[in-house]
Structure 1
Amino acid sequence: MPVGGGPEGIALTLRYRSEAPEAEGPLTLGQDNMIRCLRHDEPSHMNKQATWTVPPGAELPACLHALRTLAERHPALRTVFPGPADRQPERQRVRAEGEFTVRVLPLAAGEDPAARAEAYCWEGRRRAFDLAEEFPLRFALLTRDGAPVLLAVVICHAQLDGVATGLLFQEWLTLAVGGTLPAPAAPTPVEVAEQEQSSSGQRRTKAALRHWEHILADRPTSVFADDRIGPNDTRLPTLGVRSTAGAAALERAAARTGVSTSAVLLACYAVLTAHRAGHPTVVMAALSANRHRPGLAEHVGTLAQDALLVLDTDCPDLDTLIGRAQAQALSGYWHATFDAERIWQLIEDVAVRRGARFARHVVVNDLSGTVPPDVAAARPLPPAEPDLAWYPVEPTPTRLMLNIWRTAGCLEFTLHTHPDVLDREETELFALALLRLLDLAGTRTVTLGPAGEIAALSGLPVGRREKGRWQRVGSNWVDLDAVADLLRTALPAARDIEVTFEGGELTAVLATGTDPLTPEQAHAAVMAALPGHDTAMAPQRYVLPTGTGTGRP
């Protein structure tokens, strides 16, 4: 029934009732992970959005019935997480009945539906969902002369990830014109949680912990460490790229090398990132990484957890790296189902031991499987080859992120870039270099290494370490001057600070005035101040005034 009106249309409240009884169980690992992220990050970053086309001939009553049917078909849409908003919930509860709101927005004459949908979604993304009560989708059905033309959707990531949203969209296209669907066959979120709690599920999570520890223990904690790197700003500009030639080149490269298109893109992205970083080893997080588990391809829920990948680009040619990328991706994806609390504790424990905390500098997110092929094919072709377009800044807590939206027919991707890593001109160079690299990889091998082709092909700047006192400490590049600045921040009473690197050991010599500290106390203070100091790390040895301590923390 209508509950509001005016220039912003009316809000219709739809009630649903499922034949399935109420259910309750522990959180899935994906739900637990995403709720932790939702409680930590800005709503506009964690909430997602989608624009669903309205199939021809679909009328308003059928569209509303389709949305009600989706709620009744899928337990994830009826799931809430009881408990106070300031605490991590422990249980999920599936309702048998409830209600949600659909806002019906009439378009003015000549008004662009896509722009109106974008404005609605952006406003909706900025408001956090009430996880204990709220339906996980916010709908706005845009109409012209009473006929539906577009559906704007804001999505809570605690219940749905990108693939699940794509599955719902495909069902919407059928239901909105009165079609019928078979009953869902994939396990429900409660059933997924039960499997994860089983002995086999526990073995998988333990294996994931070992995989993460192996990488975190000795690989670079910061991919980008050079003279340009400063404090991290999480609001990054976004470059959108579309290229039909890029899609054709990607297909040729995958066919020539005998691997997936995803592995080809991953390798090209990694080698350009390594070139810019001035470091051959790239540690990256891959999102949307864990739908490989048997029976979960059609799961409507949230499985989103990071896969941690490491790619060593110090190989003779790109073909070799593409093979490495395929193997590393499979390993990372297999180990992308984990207990988030234990992973974060592992990250913290390793950080204290190493004196350097893992920085999520590089991210890849392949969402090309979330849009149905027929919908992707209906998108207009790019007006230029390639087509590059800048979008407003978005909160993105990383330094470099590649989102892959489409690979077949037209390659579509976006790059989120921190200005300290790539300014706008350099971001465009990176995108064009990626397309050129794909074109070459489709016809022949590309040489890598110091005498290889990447520098000339890309035109990208290389990370320079000239302004400070740079040293390789383990696998990390560290500026000793930045370490001294870190010590001054963490220990404001300290004076006569001297930082050296000799015999493979990073040492800090300092006096602490009238407030003596032990090495353990000094290290704890430095670790607390470390976030944001990506070119520094905590000393491995502290030399303090006589009587307070000399040694490792």
Structure 2
Amino acid sequence: MSAGGQVAEVLPGSPAGLVARFQGERTASGPPTVGQANMIRCVLTDPPEHMNYRFVLNVPPGRTLGDVVTAAELLVSRHESLRTTFRDDLQHVAGEGELVIEVHESRGSADLADEVAARLQAVRFDPAGELPVRMAVTVNDGVPEHVVLIVTHTTVDAVGLGLMRAELGRLLLGEVPAPVTAPQPLDVAWAERNPASLKRAQAALTYWRTNLERIPRSTFTASVDDGDNDWLLPRLRVRSTRAARALGRIGTRTGVSRSAAVLAAYTLIAGLRAGQRTAVALAISANRFRPELREYVGPLAQDALVPIDLDEPTFDGVLRRARAATLAAYQNSRFDSDALVQIMEEVQRSRGVFFARDIVFNDMSVPGPGRRTGRIEEDGQDVRSHWLPDATMPTRTSVWVRTLEGEVDFTLWADPRCLPREDAEALGEGIARLLIEAAERDVPISEVSALTGVVPLERGPGWVTVDACWVHLAEVERLVRDAVGERPFRVTFEDGRLVCHLAGPVTPQEIHTACVGKLSGRMAAMTPHHYVVCDGAPASPDGWAALPVLDEGTGR
């Protein structure tokens, strides 16, 4: 394949570019993989900055624009995920086609490539009508300096992105790549439909339903709701070489992996702060357990539901719980995402709670020596942290791990409505400090607050625990008020249940449906467990029990 000299328009207002022509082994259509199906929904709804990956590579000295185009042609030709669109519930692999590569004259600007990458990343991909890849190259007097690649999450997960980045780097050097031996996404999709895979996927859904029916629906429960929240969150970057050494010693003593140990520290401190006996994390699982999928260039990541019981006297006990919980969660992290959404809606109605993404854990580190990048600072500090510019992330808190060997390096995102900056700093640094201390001894849970500076949240009057969840009675009343409009009602807490008396005519099913419809994003609310529909309204709040009852029930 040779470099195209053709010029074409890319996006409105963007410059012309070179044309890379790709030629794959097949043109084909078929069902999407479960990973692709999960990501299509997110690509269409979540902010593009979350769903579009970007990276910038230096062009090796002596390479030409023609070499860049040839590298792009080979990359897209080799990986069907880069030439796949999605229409009519199917994935469609293009056997051949063209990709326009933007060309920008840098005039010596060191920041131009990053600026181009940010602009291309900020535009949402159209999964049905657009190839899931964008490329650009910056040149100085016609000599290529940097290559920019943007791919959407329907194409790769974080591990797949690392594989793609490494391969493009080799192609830019002019290396001849070995044939692709990993399966293509269409092959994975058909394999997911064999009887054994379908059985595992069904077992995963059972695992999710069983846990969703019992776990707290929120960890950082607070009297706020999302409304029009733009999820622009502060970000704290935390780094510690000593914590990385500590992880090795913790693993030797307990058998817990580095990743699970960080997750255990994160959930423990968050749970202690929130007064929860069980903290629930959503860990983004790469799902690359089988050898044939380790070099797979496609999206395998899905949420793994990790409930960790914190009712232990020492941190080693929590570590053991975390190890068992993560193993079970990762084994049940490949599923039909549409079916899971249905299960979550059914559980939401039956429990009367909205499940919140309060603790999200994304370990993007690559284990093994020599895998870390960048300069590791040894300045005598146990833990270093600094605030990054705010960015969007639709979670209460989230930890994104860069490295765990040589240096622990992660970013904590924190919703300031639930975790003000001072508390977020204590949580982020506290994760590293707890790990450092745990390398020396089995830390009692009673000492964690003093060690980290994270103290339990004080909950005032009106807070009760119901069905493993913290609930604020005023928020329940506000939920019901928004659901019933002008209809008189009263909510009480009786024998561990929320009871709603209200004026008819209406059925318990109708009022429960209205309450469930208003649940989304309300962290401290829960629907009543029982509805008593009365004939009229009393003259005083205490008079509901004396009214004739027209109907009553759970509404479930």
TM-score after normalising by structure 2: 0.90
Give ranges in structure 2 of 5+ residues lacking alignment: 1-5, 536-548
Contact 1:238 1:392 in 2 (8 A): yes
Q: Name the SS of the counterpart of 2:213 in structure 1.
A: helix
- AA at the equivalent of 1:408: E
| Residue of structure 2 equivalent to 1:381 | 376
2:461 corresponds to 1:456: no
Shift in Å at residue 544 of structure 1? 1.6
Which has the higher mean CA deviation after the structures are superposed, 342-351 or 274-283?
274-283
Aligned-partner Cα distance in 2 for 1:443–1:434:
15
Shift in Å at residue 315 of structure 1? 0.9
| Residue of structure 2 equivalent to 1:153 | 149
2:491 corresponds to 1:499: yes
Shift in Å at residue 262 of structure 1? 0.8
2:552 corresponds to 1:550: yes
| Match among 40, 48, 59 for residue 43 of structure 1 | 48
Aligned-partner Cα distance in 2 for 1:99–1:251:
48
Shift in Å at residue 126 of structure 1? 2.4
Give me the identity figure in percent. 36
Shift in Å at residue 503 of structure 1? 2.0
RMSD (Å) for aligned C-alpha atoms: 2.3
2:465 corresponds to 1:472: yes
Aligned length: 532
Question: How is 1:84-483 mapped onto 2 (pairs within 5 angstroms)?
Answer: 89-109=88-108, 111-113=109-111, 116-226=112-222, 229-231=224-226, 233=229, 234-369=231-366, 376-377=372-373, 379-382=374-377, 385=381, 386-448=383-445, 452-466=446-460, 468-483=461-476
Aligned-partner Cα distance in 2 for 1:317–1:145:
63
| Match among 501, 507, 511 for residue 522 of structure 1 | 511
Aligned-partner Cα distance in 1 for 2:62–2:113:
20
Aligned-partner Cα distance in 1 for 2:197–2:392:
34
Contact 1:159 1:302 in 2 (8 A): yes
Contact 1:289 1:307 in 2 (8 A): no
Contact 2:43 2:152 in 1 (8 A): no
| Residue of structure 2 equivalent to 1:14 | 20
- AA at the equivalent of 1:540: H
Which has the higher mean CA deviation after the structures are superposed, 233-242 or 535-544?
233-242
Cα 1:363–1:94 shift into 2, 3 Å: same
- AA at the equivalent of 1:14: A
- AA at the equivalent of 1:498: R
Q: Residues 262-296 of structure 1, C-alpha deviation per residue, up to 9 Å, x if partnerless?
A: 11111111111111211121111111342224421
Aligned-partner Cα distance in 2 for 1:144–1:439:
48
Which has the higher mean CA deviation after the structures are superposed, 381-390 or 67-76?
381-390
Which has the higher mean CA deviation after the structures are superposed, 123-132 or 182-191?
123-132
Q: Name the SS of the counterpart of 1:81 in structure 2.
A: strand
Aligned-partner Cα distance in 2 for 1:430–1:265:
12
Cα 1:272–1:348 shift into 2, 3 Å: same
Shift in Å at residue 230 of structure 1? 4.5
| Match among 485, 488, 498 for residue 478 of structure 2 | 485
| Residue of structure 2 equivalent to 1:85 | none
| Residue of structure 1 equivalent to 2:75 | 70
Contact 2:385 2:429 in 1 (8 A): no
Q: Name the SS of the counterpart of 1:76 in structure 2.
A: helix
Q: Name the SS of the counterpart of 1:215 in structure 2.
A: helix
| Residue of structure 1 equivalent to 2:545 | none
| Residue of structure 1 equivalent to 2:520 | 531
Contact 2:354 2:521 in 1 (8 A): no
Aligned-partner Cα distance in 2 for 1:499–1:79:
53
Q: Name the SS of the counterpart of 1:254 in structure 2.
A: helix
Aligned-partner Cα distance in 2 for 1:357–1:41:
19
- AA at the equivalent of 1:453: E
Q: Residues 37-76 of structure 1, C-alpha deviation per residue, up to 9 Å, x if partnerless?
A: 2223232332222233444554432222112111111111
